[in-house]
Amino acid sequence: MSPTSAPSSRRTRNRALRSPLARFLVRRIVTALLLAVGITLVTFVLTNLVPGDPVSANLGQRALGDPAIVAQWRADHGLDRPLPQQYLMHLEGLLHGDLGTSQQSHRPVLDDLAESVPATLELAGAAILVSLILGVGFGVIAALRRDRLSDHVLRVLSLIGISVPTFWLALVAFYVFFFRLQVTPGSGRIDPGMTPPPQVTGLYTVDALLSGRWDVFSSAVGHLAAPALVLALYTIGLLTRFTRSAVLEVLGQDYVRAARAKGLPGRVVLFRYVLRPALVPVITVAGLAFGSLLSGTVLVEAVFAWPGVGQYAYKSATTLDLPAIMGVGLVVGVVYLVINLVVDVLYGVIDPRVRVS
Amino acid sequence: MTAESGTAALSIEGLRLSIGGHDVLHGVDLSLEAGRVHGLAGESGSGKTMTGLAVLGLLPHGSRVSGRIAFGGRDLLGMPARELNQVRGAKIAMVFQDPATSLHPMLTVERQLTEHMGHHLGVGRKEARERAAGLLAKVRIPGPEEALKRYPHQFSGGMRQRIAIAVALACEPEVLIADEPTTALDVTVQAGILRLLRGLCDDLGLAVLLVTHDLGVMSAVADEVSVMKDGLVVETGPRGQVLREPRHPYTRSLLDALPVPPGENSP
């Protein structure tokens, strides 16, 4: 504990690691990495347990009749080796960024994912952003204006948001806003005929901004709006309800009254004493909801013809394209992992009790 | 700060309160003096706590108050919210019943001790920190400098209540309202907290309103005692007189309910 005459760089590093928050973060990240290895094992085992033979799914009738061709195909794809060895080959490939070759598109799975993952991330990210802003905002307003008109209206709306099935809403939104009212552009990520911005992040909105293409940006935002809102509606409703009840619970806490008794300004009481503790349960729910939001992308992508992971996963699954399925599984697993890591870290940042004890 | 004995630091006159149409207080009169502890006794639901909350304008929603709460020549009841906020914590401070819930679980002790100093006294971070350490020493928290960095859950109940008292004293208030400050604590810890309150009252010339349902607590520290029943003060007077020669039958029944009658030899 006492300051010594050790070199200052070492001292600061030690001090950084001694801080409970830093130790907490390191622990969480190490756990996440171990889980990532676990995910590769699970995706590998699951894809190999699926009933159905990738050979018959990929070769034509005539080729299937020829044992030599079948054996050759199995050897080419490493299917003739024992499973543990296949897994090790798979892991080794992963380390080199090689996710195998899609048996359907005959392109590296990594290249396929590099196109579809950003599309889905852009869609899901926009939905998450909108849900957080609107869901938490509405929830706080409803709690602070409890039992007044705005509270009742928000509660009914959030109930609708939770109850409406996403696929139905997607169809209705597409029909009403595109076919009938023509206020939203049609399917896809940008207007047909427009060239996508040069790829940096793969998110069209961001890339368009980076390259200064305002026309592409507005087109991308326009195309993003309807599917993202459809996807977000459920989480907006969910977060509104959870935020409302969390804020109401904290408002009744003694320490909020104590903060008022200290004469702190209203906004300090609201942000420091009400919202900060209320965010803990909200973050838990948000983490879970964003996981389920990802599964919603499959349906929304299908309706809005959004070239994302959802569509890719569906195509791969129906053709038993094992490398592609494993790639998608890995991506989805890692996204869940990242969401959980972010949730855990936020717990630690917001509530010191998590990291101190 | 050293107001003469005899002048009221805070006086409550004819305080009436109804919450959601239900009458809670029917004209409460109380007077607090600097350097004196005024005990407010009565059973649960008699309106003791509400009287304390009314002083700081912290009553629950749907409350209607009338009467007068005179402090420094002004009526706190009619005061605009902004001005009342400058009185809260700065001139009149409050300590709550349960220190496990009245401190913010996610803020360091330092933050909770210093945040209102900035608003009320305009002191800088460094000075506020020094004052905070001094306050913790004053309420006898061991190792004040270390304690500042810690969180409430790392302290025992008695220590937390001492911290809550330090928070209340941070801006050198003239009036301290203590709402059942020992009820949630172990009996062994209670005496220490009461001695602390008594000492602070004497040393700092604080006017203390000690709300409690425990006449034993009352007999230990109060100079004046008021007894409340059903939203009214039924009896008020010096401690010795009220506790030894109660005039109101209700006070007598409260005293009879004690296992050991409050004796002469209480501290």
Using one digit for the tens of pLDDT, what is the confidence trace for A135-189?
999 999 999 998 899 999 999 999 999 998 888 888 888 888 887 887 778 788 8
Would you call B89 an interface residue with chain A, using a CB distance cutoff of 8 Å? yes
Query: How many domains would you assign to chain B?
Result: 1
Alpha-carbon distance of B213 to B179, in angstroms, equals 10
d(CA A1, CA A182): 68
Nearest-CA distance B244 → chain A (Å): 35
Nearest chain B alpha carbon to A277: B106
pLDDT value of position A59 = 75
Inter-chain touch A265–B101, beta carbons under 8 Å: no
Query: Does the pLDDT of residue A14 top 80, yes or no?
Result: no
Contacts of A295 (CB under 8 A, 6+ apart): none
Let me know how many helices (H) and strands (E) chain A has, helices first: 18, 0
Set out the domains of chain A in order of their start, with CATH numbers: 115-356 (1.10.3720.10)
Q: Once rounded to an integer, what is the mean pLDDT over residues A207-214?
A: 89
Q: How many residues are listed for chain B in this entry?
A: 267
Query: Measured over all CA atoms, what is the biggest interatomic distance in chain A, rounded to whole angstroms?
Result: 86
Mean pLDDT over each residue of chain B, to the nearest integer: 88
Predicted local distance difference test score (pLDDT) of residue A5 = 44
In a domain, B194, yes or no: no
Lowest-confidence pick of A38-52, B110-124, B145-159, B199-213: A38-52
A89: exposed, middle or buried (Cβ count in 10 Å: 0-12, 13-18, 19+): middle
Strand boundaries in chain B, DSSP class E:
8-19, 22-33, 37-41, 63-71, 74-75, 92-95, 175-179, 207-211, 224-229, 232-238
Quote the minimal CA–CA distance from B148 to chain A in Å: 14
Express each pLDDT in B168-223 by its tens digit: 999 999 999 999 998 888 888 888 889 989 998 999 999 999 998 888 888 888 99
Is residue B247 domain-resident? no
Report the pLDDT averaged over residues A56-82. 80
**B105 Cβ under 8 Å from any chain A Cβ:** yes
Q: What confidence score (pLDDT) does residue B24 get? A: 92
Residue in A146, A262, A273 to test binding to B, most B beta-carbons within 10 Å: A262
Q: Is residue B233 part of a domain?
A: no
B142 in a domain, yes or no? Answer: yes
Which pLDDT does position A176 carry in this prediction? 85
Across the interface, whether the CB atoms of A263 and B88 are under 8 A apart is answered: yes
Interchain pair B88, A357: CB under 8 A: no
CA–CA min distance B205, chain A (Å): 20
**Could you give the CA distance from residue B201 to residue B221 in angstroms, rounded to a whole number?**
10
Could you tell me if A349 lies within 8 Å of chain B, comparing CB atoms? no
Give the number of beta-carbon pairs within 8 Å between A and B. 77
Distance CA B267, CA B264 (A): 9
Among B88, B97, B98, whose Cβ lies nearest the Cβ of A262?
B88
* Residue A273 to chain B, least CA–CA distance (Å): 7
How far CA B76 is from CA of B10, B13, B85, B241, in Å, comes to: 10, 11, 11, 31
Averaged pLDDT for residues B94-107? 92
Tell me whether residue B122 is in a domain.
Answer: yes
Which residues lie closer than 8 Å to A325 by C-beta, 6 or more apart?
A: A43, A47, A313, A316, A317
Mutate to test the interface with A, among B71, B103, B106, B108 (most CBs of A within 10 A): B106
Cα separation of the two ends of chain B: 25
Is B187 inside a domain boundary? no
Query: Count of residues for chain A?
Result: 357
Which three-class secondary structure state does DSSP give residue B225? strand
Assess A147–B contact: CB distance below 8 Å, yes or no.
no
At residue A198 the predicted structure's pLDDT band, cuts being 50, 70 and 90, is confident
pLDDT of A1 over the 80 cut: no
With cut-offs at 50, 70 and 90, classify the pLDDT of residue B1: very low
DSSP per residue, A313-355: HHHHHHTT-HHHHHHHHHHHHHHHHHHHHHHHHHHHHH-HHHH
Query: Are residues B106 and A357, on separate chains, in Cβ contact within 8 Å?
Result: no
Q: In this structure, are residues B92 and B71 in contact, taking their beta carbons and an 8 Å threshold?
A: yes
Q: How many CA atoms lie within 13 A of A180 on its CB side?
A: 7
SS3 (DSSP) at A107: coil
Q: In what order do the strands lie in the sheet with B8-19?
A: B22-33, B8-19, B63-71, B74-75
- Residue found under tokens 């409340």: B228
Question: Which domain range does residue B131 map to?
Answer: 106-172
Residue A260 and residue B96: Cβ atoms within 8 Å?
Answer: no
* Alpha-carbon span A120 to A301, nearest angstrom: 8
Residue type, B122: G
Of A123, A90, A78, A155, nearest to A299 (Cα)?
A123
Asked whether the predicted pLDDT for residue A12 surpasses 90, the reply is: no
> Do the Cβ atoms of A280 and A296 come closer than 8 Å?
no
Residues 6+ apart with CB under 8 A from A240: A134, A135, A138, A139, A142, A154, A155, A157, A158, A161
Shortest Cα distance from A344 to chain B (angstroms)?
16
Place of tokens 């008021």: B226
The closest alpha carbon to A254, from B263, B58, B247, B246, belongs to B58
The token duo for A244 is 């409302």
Q: Give the closest of B85, B90, B153 to A265, CB-based.
A: B85
Could you tell me which residues are beta bridge partners of residue B175?
A: B92, B207
